[in-house]
Amino acid sequence: MRARVKKSFDRFHVMAGQSPAAIAELIAEEGVDIAVDLKGLTDGASIEVFASRPAPVQVNYLGYPGTMGAEFMDYILADAVVAPLSQQAFYVEKILHLPVCYQPNDSRAPLPPAPSRGQAGLPAQGFVFCCFNNNWKLNPSMFYIWMRLLMAVPGSVLWLIEDNKEAAANLRGHAAARGVEESRLVFAPRLSLELHLARQRLADLFLDTSPYNAHTTASDALWTGVPLVTATGAGFAGRVAASLLTAIGLPELITENLGDYEKLALALARHPARLAGLKQKLEEDRLTTALFDTDRFTRNLEAAYEKMREAFLAGG
């Protein structure tokens, strides 16, 4: 990815280890019109660079799903699902919508064939619920829904990412406390993106988390043909999966509350033909709908930056 990005620009500066002041000085010297912060208030961020306003237009985008609360950030790039304009009062930045979906996706991402279930550590038979979100996105209310689903679908398993041994042991213990055999929780070690996408094709249904959704993991699931059920949250971080499903033409997988989320997940697990229809739709529409149309997204992003620049020149 780094090599592809570097090849796409006329100039590419590596500023790792440089002070915020040095980075800001270079931005100003280069005459940057629009500076985009892809980290926001996350680990490794350099918000101090933007605090000195080295560029006339400064944008919060992609890495942080919410307002940075900083007066020196002019815009947040979003879409009508994750940040409707009715929520502008909760953002310091001006919300600027990209058409359909704010999240970029790579139409050239790998899509290798799936391994066998045995190779992936899954039982030979049985319905596979999965959630490859980071373990810190799990909470009791979501986990108990998942345990009820396992109890209601005999022979099913829940396939989770293994962030660490302690988390896996804790989750197995809580499953047992809810009457679910520990063996029905299957933990997947972290792998390279290509190998992970390959094994994910073995899952039957992706169960989203709330109040913090799957983001990249949701688009990975849809790319590999795995339907995803979500419950729309109140804020940006809890509305991303709904945005992705809208962009790929599957609004029927979006629910408004956790009760409906549980009912829909159970209905899909109990009706193989209905689920197969959704998988077929994903396969047919993956490259024809907006979510994985990288060229279309690029044009929309360019238009958004042009709009920002024009507004600045007009004094807006």
Cis bond before residue 211 (omega within 30° of 0): yes
Indicate whether 299 and 172 sit together in one domain: no
Is 281 in the same domain as 297? no
pLDDT at 1: 84
What is the reported pLDDT for 291? 97
Whether residues 183 and 258 share a domain: the answer is yes
CATH code: domain of residue 46: 3.40.50.11380
Tokens describing residue 64: 């942080």
Residue 149, CA atoms < 13 Å, CB-side half-sphere: 32
Let me know whether 172 and 261 are in one domain.
yes
Are the C-beta atoms of residues 111 and 196 closer than 8 Å to each other?
no
What's the CATH number where 205 sits?
A: 3.40.50.2000
Cα dihedral across residues 95, 97, 102, 104: positive or negative: negative
pLDDT digits (tens, 9 = 90+) for 66-80: 999 999 999 999 999
Q: 140 and 261: one domain?
A: yes
Q: Is residue 114 part of a domain?
A: no
Residue 258 included in any domain: yes
Are the CB atoms for 171 and 160 separated by under 8 Å?
Answer: yes
Please state the rounded mean pLDDT for residues 73-99: 98
Please, what is the average pLDDT of the chain? 96
What is the pTM for the complete model shown?
Answer: 0.96
Q: Do residue 132 and residue 270 come from a single domain?
A: yes
Percent of the chain with pLDDT over 70: 100
Q: Residue 41 and residue 272: Cα distance in Å, rounded?
A: 42
Domain match, 195 and 298 both: no
Q: Token match 């829904």: residue?
A: 145
User: Both 156 and 224 in a single domain?
Assistant: yes
CB-based contact 27:55 (threshold 8 Å): yes
* 26 within domain boundaries: yes
- Please write the tens of the pLDDT for every residue from 29-39: 999 999 999 99
Q: In the structure encoding, which two tokens stand for residue 264, read together?
A: 């829909």
pLDDT value of residue 275: 98
Number of structural domains the chain divides into? 2
The single-letter DSSP state of residue 114 is P
Q: Is residue 14 part of a domain?
A: no
The DSSP symbol for 127 reads: -
Give a yes or no: residue 305 inside a domain: yes
Q: Are residues 149 and 197 in the same domain?
A: yes
132 and 268 fall within a common domain: yes
End-to-end CA separation in angstroms for the chain: 35
144 lies in some domain: yes
316, pLDDT greater than 80: no
How far is 96 from 80, CA to CA, in rounded Å? 9
Q: Are residues 57 and 167 in the same domain?
A: no
Is 1 within the bounds of a domain?
no
Domain that holds residue 139: 128-285
Q: Give domain status of residue 213, yes or no.
A: yes
Judge contact between 247 and 290, C-beta under 8 A.
Answer: yes
- Whether 74 and 178 map to the same domain: the answer is no
pLDDT in tens, 151-190: 999 999 999 999 899 999 999 999 999 999 999 999 999 9
Q: Which tens digits make up the pLDDT trace of 193-237?
A: 999 999 999 999 999 999 999 999 999 999 999 999 999 999 999
